């Protein structure tokens, strides 16, 4: 009986460990994206321009975020 109980707890522990790893990876991804957001926008704008589109990267990401409403609409008028 004791052996079955131990095995069940080990499975639960493994799930918790996987969740912790996923949370750590997600936080790391947000930090990296936050740190390189302007560079990524510039790279994506370059690809867009190369493919024939137009892109404006004159505004920083932080300024764009300040002009967003709660619904994610840009109120800056650009």
Is 43 domain-assigned? yes
Q: Output the pTM of the full model.
A: 0.48
Query: What's the pLDDT band for 8 if we cut at 50, 70, 90?
Result: low
Instruction: Reply yes or no on whether the pLDDT at 35 is more than 60.
Output: yes
Instruction: Reply yes or no on whether the pLDDT at 77 is more than 70.
Output: no
Q: Which residues of 58-67 are buried (b: 16+ CB within 10 A; e: fewer)?
A: eeebeeeeee
Helix H or strand E encompassing 29: helix 2-35
Query: For the chain, how many helices (H) and strands (E)?
Result: 3, 0
Domain residues for 46?
8-66
Is 2 domain-assigned? no
Is 77 domain-assigned? no
52-67 confidence digits (pLDDT tens): 877 777 777 777 777 7
Domain count of the fold of the chain? 1
Is 27 domain-assigned? yes
Is 76 domain-assigned? no
Cα–Cα distance between 19 and 58 in angstroms, integer?
39
């Amino acid at each position: 009986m004791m052996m079955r109980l131990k095995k069940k707890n080990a499975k639960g522990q493994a799930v918790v460990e996987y969740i912790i790893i996923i949370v750590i990876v997600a936080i790391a991804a947000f930090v990296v994206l936050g740190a390189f957001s302007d560079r990524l926008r510039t790279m994506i704008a370059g690809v867009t321009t190369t493919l024939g589109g137009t892109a404006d990267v004159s505004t920083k990401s932080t300024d764009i975020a300040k002009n967003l409403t709660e619904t994610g609409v840009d109120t800056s008028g650009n």
